[in-house]
Amino acid sequence: MRTQVAIIGGGPAGLLLSQILHHQGIDTVVLERRSRAYVLSRIRAGVLEASFADLMRAAGASERMDGKGIVHEGANIAHPDGMFRIDFRALTGGNVVIYGQTELTLDLYDARDATGGTTFDNCSGVELHDIDSTAPYVTFCHGGQDHRLDCDFIAGCDGFHGPSRQAIPEDRRTEFEKTYPFGWLGLLSETPPVADELIYASSARGFALCSMRGPNLSRYYIQCPLSDDPEDWPDDKFWRELRRRLPDTVAEQLISGVSVEKSIAPLRSFVCEPMQWGRLYLCGDAAHIVPPTGAKGLNAAASDVRDLSQAFLSHYRDGDGHALEHYSSTALARIWKTQRFSWWMTNLLHRFPEQSGFDQKMQQAQLNQLAVNSSAQRVFAENYVGLAL
């Protein structure tokens, strides 16, 4: 079996890359270790930068997103001294689109099926070979049979635990990591959102976020200890604690309901350098992870897809390998800016176990400045809607 680009990982990054390359006339095969049902069951991000929405259109997978996605032109930040709104449209001319990752992934699967692209789910034993040569290949087991996939290039879109990053020699890669001493307890409920736009809340009891997936589907988060288990948080306890972290005017409007899904996600920052080795190129969580506070994880992966797809197009259409050669440095320059914003937002809004009184006063001073300073709000808005690079 042979293809031009072997894509390891059938999540949003891998599927998006496969579709964009298909429309550019570049052949791909996608290998995913999980079942399609498992991939579609993951409840993840729901805030898309406008540039991500454009990529979905380029992939031929935007019809439902354009019809059901909710355009947000601002976001709210609540803190002990009040609540204020940052107007993305007024400050940057930009916006974000609220559309759940589960729906987005389903759209990409449907688009992939419609084009007749080859996708192998439930793959095991995926191994990358000769990635530093001109003839890399991938071996894997599917349906009880061993397979070999020869290719020109390999795109590693297989997440933090996949084999792609591990294929880069350990002495040739450097990994930077920061773990945070808390997690996010998320609850999904079939209830109307408490507000028309997201509310990020910083309180003495910890962080909270009010988000949504649609007019009758809400997603809420509260900061919690990493030692907690979702079973420690029955629905009534979650709703009580969420209300305590929100301004009274917001808490009074909150409509609670039975949880559809509940889980705890740890927060971490991670970057692997370089993001390429030989003919292997890493995308998304295989190369970098951000805490979800800045809504950048899925968007950063999409930016990788944009850069890599353009580099492949330059190679195949124009015979120009410059963009492929410099993919890692181009992507990392952007990724570290994304890391900085996510790290800053996380430190601004959360309570840390060893935080001193001085630290809390500095947090509040930053929030008060952000509430009244248009220049600070513009920087926030530019980062949130997506930096032009």
CA distance 11 to 217: 23
Tally Cβ neighbours within 10 Å of residue 127. 12
The rounded percent of the chain whose pLDDT value lies above 90 is 95
Confidence of residue 312 (pLDDT cuts 50, 70, 90): very high
Given a cut of 60, whether residue 389 has pLDDT beyond it is no
pLDDT at position 46, please?
A: 86
Express each pLDDT in 102-119 by its tens digit.
999 999 999 999 999 999
> What average pLDDT does this structure show over 174-196?
97
DSSP percent split of the chain into helix, strand, coil, nearest 5: 40, 30, 30
Closest CA to 304 of 2, 11, 4: 11
- Reported for 33-40, long-range contacts at CB under 8 A and 24+ positions apart, including other chains, are 33/122, 33/123, 33/124, 33/126, 33/158, 33/162, 34/10, 34/121, 34/122, 35/121, 35/122, 36/10, 36/109, 36/121, 39/10, 39/11, 39/105, 39/121, 40/102, 40/105, 40/106, 40/109
pLDDT at position 362, please?
A: 97
Longest CA–CA separation in the chain, Å? 63
Top-confidence residue, 44 or 14? 14
Active site residues per annotation: 72, 200, 292, 296, 384
pLDDT at position 388, please?
A: 60
Express each pLDDT in 350-367 by its tens digit.
999 999 999 999 999 999
Closest CA to 290 of 362, 339, 348, 218: 339
For 29, 255, 260, 336, the CA distances from 231, given in Å and listed in that order, are 40, 22, 14, 36
Handedness of CA 377, 269, 213, 48 (dihedral sign): positive
pLDDT at position 310, please?
A: 97
Residue 27, class by beta-carbon neighbours within 10 Å (0-12 exposed, 13-18 middle, 19+ buried)?
middle
Cα angle, residue 64 at apex, residues 7 and 40 outer, rounded to 5°? 45
Q: Which domains are present in the chain?
A: 5-72+95-177+268-345 (3.50.50.60), 181-267+353-385 (3.30.9.10)
Confirm if 251 and 104 have CB atoms less than 8 A apart: no
Confirm if 262 and 233 have CB atoms less than 8 A apart: yes
DSSP H helical segments within 153-263, as ranges?
163-166, 235-244, 248-251
Confirm if 293 and 349 have CB atoms less than 8 A apart: yes
Express each pLDDT in 246-276 by its tens digit.
999 999 999 999 999 999 999 999 999 999 9
Quote the pTM value: 0.95
CA distance 65 to 98: 9
pLDDT at position 387, please?
A: 77
For 205, the token pair is 């009891």
Express each pLDDT in 115-171 by its tens digit.
999 999 999 999 999 999 999 999 999 999 999 999 999 999 999 999 999 999 999
For 192, 195, 249, 279, the CA distances from 235, given in Å and listed in that order, are 16, 20, 21, 49
pLDDT at position 41, please?
A: 83
Top-confidence residue, 389 or 305? 305
For 148, the token pair is 């070999």
CA distance 336 to 96: 21
Query: If you count them, how many residues does the chain have?
Result: 389
Closest CA to 211 of 224, 199, 223: 199
Given a cut of 80, whether residue 318 has pLDDT beyond it is yes
For 335, the token pair is 């990724």
